[in-house]
Amino acid sequence: MTGPTQRTRPPAIPAEDSSQVTESLDEAVRNEEGMEEQLARIVAQTLASTMGSPSTQTANAAIELQAPRVARLKLDNPTKFDGKPKTPFRTWWDSVRDYIRFYSETSGIQKIAWVGTLLTDEAKEWH
């Protein structure tokens, strides 16, 4: 049998001034918030360039500041659709889809409301 085991204490952790600890934590939080903001900005710019999403207008605005100014083209609205059997729906719908593709920054709910303004007579009643 061996002798009694002697336990050793771990070294004491030096006590720091609580204000220093608080300042260190505050600085860490500020750095983390700054990194989150920077990451959010990068994600927004990436999404804007790949998907053209309307929620990234601020990222697009920053990019436009750097890009040369070019005159913005404007398309005329497609003709009105009345919903009557002799009116060619497919031709009208293709022109609506082309218009929507050209103005891709428009949100979904705005597109639905806008299409409603292109309807008359029976089509308007259905809508």
Q: Is residue 49 part of a domain?
A: yes
Q: Which of 6-10, 53-57, 81-85, 92-96 has the highest mean pLDDT?
A: 92-96
- From residue 66, alpha-carbon distances to 45, 53, 116 in Å are 14, 19, 37
The parent domain of residue 33 ranges over: 19-70
Please choose, from the candidates 45, 63, 67, 69, the residue with its C-alpha nearest in 3D space to the C-alpha of residue 55. Answer: 45
Does residue 103 have a pLDDT over 80? yes
Give me the number of domains the chain comprises.
2
Q: Look up the pTM and report it.
A: 0.43
> How high is the pLDDT of residue 52?
52
| Tokens describing residue 75 | 């398309």
Same domain, 84 and 59: no
Of 90 and 63, the one with more pLDDT: 90
Same domain, 62 and 94: no
Q: Is residue 7 part of a domain?
A: no
Same domain, 62 and 112: no
Q: Is residue 85 part of a domain?
A: yes
- 54-79 pLDDT, tens digit per residue, is 554 565 555 555 656 767 788 888 99
